[in-house]
Amino acid sequence: MSEDLFEQLRSVYGPLEEPTYFKINEVMAQRPYSRLVQELTNYFQVEEVTDVNEDVSFQYELAQGGDGWMLELSAVGPFAVFSRYEEQGGRSLITPESDSLAPHERQVIDLLRRHGLRVMSRSDLDVPVRMNLFITELEKVCLYHALFSDNDSLPWD
């Protein structure tokens, strides 16, 4: 994990052995991505599905023309995870480098970049982090859990 990301985690959570959530709660109340979400509603049906008990991000399901996506916007910093719901179940991660991006997927990636968000890759998200969380066991915690959701699993597994 880059030192910048580690510093970002510590600046928000404090010591990762005993993280606090005060700053996360403040960001969640401020809703910093409201303009971005409003722009998304011009192209998609948007439904917020954030679970305040597990998520440290704003979670949105996007739908358009029978297709569906999940967009996660971190309350820790300007980070995003974008994934496609697959017909056979599960989700596949979408990044700017993904092959065969559909036009609507490219549109979301471009919109995220315009709003200053970094679209995270799987290699970023899989990096282990020594952080005590409520749900995810210490040896399983990775950057995804610290930035987006403490749900003891990874959405693409």
Reduce the DSSP state of residue 74 to 3 states and report it.
strand
Tell me the domain boundaries of the chain. 3-147
Q: What is the pLDDT of residues 30-58, one digit of tens each?
A: 999 999 999 999 999 999 999 988 999 99
pLDDT level of residue 3 (50, 70, 90 thresholds): confident
Q: Are 55 and 79 in contact (CB under 8 A)?
A: no
Mean of pLDDT values over 66-93 = 94
pLDDT tens, residue by residue, 84-129: 999 888 899 999 998 889 999 999 999 999 999 999 999 999 999 9
For the chain, what's the residue count?
157
Q: Which two tokens stand for residue 134?
A: 């409520």
Beta strands 79-85 and 118-119 are: parallel
Q: With 90 as the cut, is the pLDDT of residue 141 above it? A: yes
Query: What's the pLDDT at 1?
Result: 52
Q: What is the CA radius of gyration of the chain?
A: 15
81, pLDDT greater than 90: yes
